[in-house]
Amino acid sequence: MKGIAVSKGVAIGKAYLLDRSKFCILKQKLEDHEVENEIQRFRDAIAKTKLQMIDIKNRAEKIADKYAVILDTYTLLLDDDILVNDTIENIRKNHTNAEWTLNQTLQNFLNLFDNINDDYLKGKKDDLDLLVQAILRNLIGHSQETLSDLQEPVIIVTHSLSPSDTLSMPRNFIKGLATETGGKTSHVGIFAAALGIPAVTGIKNLTSQINSGDNVVVDGIDGEVIVHPNDEKSQYFLKKQENYRRYEERLLANIHQSAETLDGHQIHLLANIESNQEARTLRKFGAEGVGLYRTEFLYMAASSLPGERELYENFKAVAQEMGKRPVVIRTLDIGMDKQLAGIPTDDEDNPALGLRGIRLSLAKPELFLSQLKGILRASLYGNVKILYPMITSVSEITQANELLQKAKDQLKEDQIPFDENIEIGAMIETPAATLCIDHILEHVDFVSIGTNDLIQYLLAIDRVNENVAHLYQPFHPAVIRALKQVFDAAKKANKKVSICGELGGDPMATMLLLGLGEIDDLSMEPHSIPKVKKIIRLIRLEEARQMADHVLNLSSVEEISQFIAKEMRTRFPDDFDRDLSFQEKIIPA
């Protein structure tokens, strides 16, 4: 059964089927005199759920900062005007019971998520659903089966896992996780990765195909769950399990070495983060700074728009944690299709091409100014840089810089210090930006290529639309030529260039990227850094250029993908050749 690999590793053991079927919610009509009591019953359930979430968060902080941050979002959603107030308003308006009304509000929320063109935010859909289920349990007075009484190591198989589920698990008895819902950005994925538990999510009809006690393999490397493996397959996965363990040990042993090619070309490997808490954990992966601080989380998790001071405190914490290391803060990259506290949403037919990124910031100058002032104030405490998202023209940079100057003037008037020479960068993630790159470079200090959106826009592909997602191809000739064009223009202009999309953290693409141009930085999810660093330290830049020259002469995705895969698996069999690395061959300790 195929799913999403959210936490690497291989788990082999007995399945424990955890029943997490949803409640049957019945609609009940209320008499006039019952309405206010029903609203109070709902408020009591919210208050009880909030206390439960605070307790869970306090325990979560002992596991991982990033996991605790997710639980902050849960608590904030319990204060959210739409979730809570809409439910209360509809209880009054429709005279319906709290359970039914809350469930209807949830469905409206989930429909909004279906229209969001963003993988990360789509991954939060399941978390919202789980939160509402927790409220419903408190409304109904229904207690659920817990995992705290497990007596032997098992693989948890379930529809979904709540935060209380994950925190009640006795860690020494959890070999692996397999769920029908969730993704890499859900709390399950982050929890499993933080504890090194192999996990696969998003498997349809999983619970109908497995019973408690079944022999199961969770392959968190290739995203598979195997039921009742025969002796041959069992041996196969035992070898894969041992090889991956040894492989990870070797990767982490070298994290503090520089990412320098054999012929002396150094690349700085930075981390993508979304909260100040994450910054504390970067050094253990060997990150040399923050290449992309996604600020959207600060807005999406808030019950009211974060002000200048709140933003400043968050940015300052990251700057102080990083010291002299760079901290690139991307201004708000969000569209009007996403709910922002205090700002009405628009029902855009195509939000990916709508009022998002820098367009939204320029349309909402006060919103933009508060963020710019927060960044400027934090710049006093480290090597902070500003990155404008979704740039399509020089005029957008000019307008943004005018507002930046206004922010500087206001701070000076208030006698608040900041870095006068803060660097400004532009995200290159649209075809327009690649075609106008020479003009854009004249107005910024650096550029950062956002490959996720660039690929989507270049190929006219909605990567979250299952009907065309297979056409999202990072090794498409158009993508590679666009990257080459940006690299060459940056070199000619003597400006720094980095990559901060998923491609930058893909070890299969590392050698090609280095060969296409003189990259200064690669920014990626922290856990990707050790493997990318290993690749860089084992290649010569001249060899990478030869690879890139050959790829530029190929005309199809198939040719390019096959050539790169063959080259990388030949050069790095322990990293890319499945038959050699994790399955057939036992790597010496």
Number of Cβ atoms within 10 Å of the Cβ of 45 = 21
Question: In this model, does residue 466 exceed pLDDT 50?
Answer: yes
* Least confident stretch, 57-66, 430-439, 514-523: 57-66
Domain final residue pick, 97, 117, 140: 140
How far is CA 548 from its chain centroid? 29
Question: In this model, does residue 480 exceed pLDDT 80?
Answer: yes
Question: In this model, does residue 461 exceed pLDDT 50?
Answer: yes
**Same-domain check for residues 128 and 264:** no
**Same-domain check for residues 124 and 273:** no
**Same-domain check for residues 324 and 407:** yes
Q: How far apart are CA 458 and CA 472, in angstroms?
A: 10
In a domain, 243, yes or no: no
Paired with 496 in beta bridges are: 446
Tokens 């320098």 sit at which residue?
Answer: 260
The model's pTM: 0.71
**Same-domain check for residues 130 and 155:** no
Tokens representing residue 309 in the block: 């001071």
**Same-domain check for residues 152 and 115:** no
Phi-psi region of 19 (alpha: psi -120 to 50; beta: other; left: phi over 0): beta
**Same-domain check for residues 426 and 549:** yes
In a domain, 158, yes or no: yes
Q: What is the pLDDT of residue 580?
A: 34
pLDDT confidence bin for 137, thresholds 50/70/90: confident
Q: What is the pLDDT of residue 124?
A: 61
Domain count, the chain: 3
Question: In this model, does residue 585 exceed pLDDT 50?
Answer: no
Higher pLDDT, 83 or 428: 428
In a domain, 253, yes or no: no
In a domain, 523, yes or no: yes
pLDDT confidence bin for 140, thresholds 50/70/90: confident
Phi, psi of 6 (to 5 degrees): -105, -15
Q: How far apart are CA 408 and CA 32, in angstroms?
A: 56
**Same-domain check for residues 158 and 134:** no
- Tell me the residue range of the domain where 164 lies: 4-20+146-227
From the candidates 95, 443, 500, 550, which is the catalytic residue? 500
In a domain, 588, yes or no: no
pLDDT confidence bin for 57, thresholds 50/70/90: low
pLDDT confidence bin for 154, thresholds 50/70/90: very high
In a domain, 134, yes or no: yes
* CB-based contacts of 102, cutoff 8 Å, min separation 6: 42, 87, 132, 135, 136, 139
**Mean pLDDT computed over every residue of the chain:** 85
Q: What is the pLDDT of residue 196?
A: 78
500 is catalytic: yes
Of 313, 443, 290, nearest to 380 by C-alpha is 313
Give the CATH number for residue 45: 1.10.274.10
What is the average per-residue pLDDT within 471-482?
Answer: 93
C-alpha pair distances (Å), 524 with each of 254, 272, 481: 18, 5, 22
Domain final residue pick, 140, 160, 176: 140
C-alpha pair distances (Å), 91 with each of 28, 50, 130, 141: 11, 21, 22, 19
What is the average per-residue pLDDT within 533-541?
Answer: 96
Question: In this model, does residue 584 exceed pLDDT 50?
Answer: no
Cα-atom radius of gyration of the chain, to the nearest Å? 25
**Same-domain check for residues 38 and 68:** yes
Domain final residue pick, 113, 140, 167: 140
**Same-domain check for residues 205 and 315:** no
**Same-domain check for residues 326 and 347:** yes
DSSP notation for 414-464: TT----TT-EEEEEE-SHHHHHTHHHHHTT-SEEEE-HHHHHHHHHT--TT
**Same-domain check for residues 70 and 205:** no
What is the average per-residue pLDDT within 105-116?
Answer: 70
Question: In this model, does residue 286 exceed pLDDT 60?
Answer: yes
C-alpha pair distances (Å), 261 with each of 180, 371, 533, 534, 561: 42, 38, 9, 10, 23
Give the CATH number for residue 8: 3.50.30.10
Tokens representing residue 7 in the block: 């936490």
Of 35, 26, 57, 56, nearest to 140 by C-alpha is 26
What is the average per-residue pLDDT within 511-535?
Answer: 93
CB contact at 8 A, 480 and 560: yes
187 is catalytic: yes
**Same-domain check for residues 10 and 54:** no
Give the CATH number for residue 418: 3.20.20.60
What is the average per-residue pLDDT within 497-506?
Answer: 92
In a domain, 511, yes or no: yes
Q: State which amino acid sits at residue 12.
A: I
Q: What is the pLDDT of residue 437?
A: 98
Q: How far apart are CA 164 and CA 158, in angstroms?
A: 14
Tokens representing residue 483 in the block: 């990257």
Question: In this model, does residue 121 exceed pLDDT 70?
Answer: no
Q: What is the pLDDT of residue 330?
A: 97
From the candidates 187, 228, 265, 439, which is the catalytic residue? 187
In a domain, 391, yes or no: yes
Share of residues in the chain with pLDDT > 70 (%): 82
Tokens representing residue 13 in the block: 């053991």
